[in-house]
Amino acid sequence: MDEQGFLEYVQSGGQVETDDWMPDEYRQKLIKFIEMHANSELMGVLPEREWILRAPTLQRKLALTAKVQDEVGHAQLIYRVVEDLGKPREQCLADLISGTSKFHNVFHYPTRTWGDVGVIAWLVDAAAIISQKALLKCSYAPYARIMKKICWEESFHILHGRDVILTLMLGTDGQRELVQEALNRWWAPLMMFHGNPIPAENDPVVQWRIKTQGNEEARQQFLDGYVPQIWELGLTVPDPKLRRREDGVWEYTEPDWDELRSVVTGHGPMTAERLEFRRVTREETAWVRSVVLAEAA
């Protein structure tokens, strides 16, 4: 099979296994895309981890701990896929810490209150599940297969997030305000989450059928699914231009794409602190890895 034949094969829904022949460009695109996904799972637990000890009840502490365990588990599964494509996990972690590789924009921001924790588990995970569902038909089959398990676990997180939000909304005025303020902080990063509206035909990741929907399509699906759920709780979306047109398309204020570019290239408000935390814990746990490997040898 040549490159053109391969492209036609994947575009018509064909799937590829680890040992199958694939063009180098496809392999490189896969590694970059999947590695960023794994990095995001690993970095995504840090904003939530900060709240485990401060969560309001024992039940909430346990639920949050379980979510953190799930996300780290996802990182492990996804790094496995990258390793089989040829990039060792140690290299992925080194590139993450040195800032050579990227992770999702939403994990570069601070979690100021318990309201932020609810908004992250509900709406960030909702946005993520939309992207991840579009990977269930990924042309690279090993990635598509683990996505089944990941999507299944993410649905628990959305439940947990909705429960946190509903509990706050049924509380005092102060608690409702906490949610509204968190939503105000998270709306802009959420609108950037699915990326700039690059047409699907110009997006190599869509052309290779690594993902099966375009950025704007994902964002529209998010707005369609979740804006009504936000409104029905009496919350306000902090965008005066937001409205659903007669034809079903959502209009919104153009997100600040320069901010997105700056954040994901390592200049977010929490980027340096969180990467430093990763670096320190990696050093502190080095002895565990060496003991495990020595004992098994």
Return the residue of 50, 95, 153, 217 that touches another protein, per CB under 8 A.
Answer: 153
Examine residue 21 and tell whether it contacts another protein (CB under 8 A).
no
Q: How far apart are CA 285 and CA 249, in angstroms?
A: 49
Examine residue 146 and tell whether it contacts another protein (CB under 8 A).
yes
Examine residue 288 and tell whether it contacts another protein (CB under 8 A).
no
| Rg (alpha carbons) of the chain, rounded to whole number | 20
Return the residue of 23, 27, 73, 91 that touches another protein, per CB under 8 A.
Answer: 73
Comparing CB distances to another protein, the nearer of 66 and 200 is 66
Comparing CB distances to another protein, the nearer of 73 and 266 is 73
Return the residue of 27, 29, 61, 89 that touches another protein, per CB under 8 A.
Answer: 89
> Min. distance of Cβ 227 from another protein in angstroms?
31
> Min. distance of Cβ 238 from another protein in angstroms?
36
Return the residue of 52, 68, 77, 94 that touches another protein, per CB under 8 A.
Answer: 77
Examine residue 236 and tell whether it contacts another protein (CB under 8 A).
no
Q: Which amino acid is at 173?
A: D
Q: SS3 string of 111-164?
A: CCCHHHHHHHHHHHHHHHHHHHHCCCCCCEHHHHHHHHHHHHHHHHHHHHHHHH
Helix (H) or strand (E) holding 244: strand 243-244
Examine residue 163 and tell whether it contacts another protein (CB under 8 A).
no
Return the residue of 53, 152, 172, 241 that touches another protein, per CB under 8 A.
Answer: 152
Q: How far apart are CA 189 and CA 104, in angstroms?
A: 10
Q: How far apart are CA 245 and CA 247, in angstroms?
A: 5
- Rounded to the nearest 10°, the torsion over CA 11, 30, 142, 37 is -120
Comparing CB distances to another protein, the nearer of 232 and 295 is 295
Comparing CB distances to another protein, the nearer of 21 and 240 is 21
Greatest distance between any 2 Cα atoms in the chain: 66
Q: Among candidates 123, 138, 158, which has minimal Cα distance to 34?
A: 138
Return the residue of 11, 76, 100, 196 that touches another protein, per CB under 8 A.
Answer: 76
The site that binds another protein (CB under 8 A) totals a number of residues, namely: 19
> Min. distance of Cβ 121 from another protein in angstroms?
17
Q: How far apart are CA 144 and CA 148, in angstroms?
A: 7
Which positions touch another protein (CB under 8 A)? 19, 73, 76-77, 80, 83-84, 89, 142, 145-146, 149, 152-153, 292-293, 295-297
